[in-house]
Amino acid sequence: MKLILLGAPGSGKGTQAAYITAKYNLPHISTGDIFRENIKDRTPLGLKIKELIDAGKFCPDDLTVEVVKERLSKPDCTEGYLLDGFPRNIFQAESLDNFNQPDKVIEIEVDLSKIEKRITGRRSCPKCGGSYHVDFLEDKEVCPSCGDKLIIRKDDTPEVVKDRIEIYARQTQPLIDFYEKQGKLLKVDGNQPIETVFEEIVKVLSK
């Protein structure tokens, strides 16, 4: 099953991706995670995009498409994958269609009013990719999945969040029409508790 997760920043893509990939045994491909890993390891790619991401901007399209193309060519992706954070615009979606067509696209819909609180409360695990909200963590500093130290992402500040949401509305929302026309779009209500959102995803995928 080749899946794409769409939704505004903070809509819960990373959170749901962890559940989906575990249940369906798919590799979780998050372009954000790939970029952050490269930044941490100071690779040439990492150095190039560090400045952009710190400012809440995105990596240039051609480079992003190249990174995804390479990742999807690995053997663990032949049976399927879950893409999270890609594609972000029509150019990227059309490029993807040229080398690897997704089967289904899940859109997580969340009210804008909730998003800022979710993102500014997000705590991320650099080791296992886990994403949590500070309000629900017993120990605010330690990853409940792997025990590593949690971090606050540099682009999770209120100022940068506003920019990212604006870019999302302008560039990524048109993808919803794009995939709806292809008959691939499945919508779920992301305003509900994490487990309920996941149940809805399982339900729409089984149809």
User: Contact, 192 vs 41, CB < 8 A?
Assistant: no
Q: Is 22 in the site for Zn ion (CB under 5 A)?
A: no
Please, is 146 exposed, middle or buried when counting C-beta atoms within 10 Å of its C-beta (0-12, 13-18, 19+)? exposed
Residues binding ligand ADP: number (CB under 6 A): 19
| Smallest distance, Zn ion to C-beta of residue 12, A | 17
**122 noted as active-site residue:** yes
Listed in sequence order, the residues at least 6 apart from 198 whose beta carbon sits closer than 8 Å to its beta carbon are 16, 19, 20
Residues 6 or more apart whose CB falls under 8 angstroms from that of 62 comprise none
Q: How far is the CB of 120 from ligand ADP (least distance, A)?
A: 9
Segment interacting with Zn ion (CB under 5 A) among 37-45, 94-102, 127-135, 158-166:
127-135
DSSP structure class, residue 172: I
Determine which one of 69, 114, 153, 154 is catalytic: 153
In angstroms, what is the minimal distance from the CB of 133 to ligand ADP? 4
Which one of 10, 32, 130, 190 is in contact with Zn ion (CB under 5 A)? 130
Site string for ligand ADP, 172-191 (x = CB under 6 A): ------------------x-
Asked if 194 interacts with ligand ADP (CB under 6 A), we say yes
Angle, alpha carbons 90-23-104 (nearest 5°): 25
Helices (H) and strands (E) in the chain, counts: 9, 7
Where in 122-161 is the site for ligand ADP (CB under 6 A)?
122, 131-133
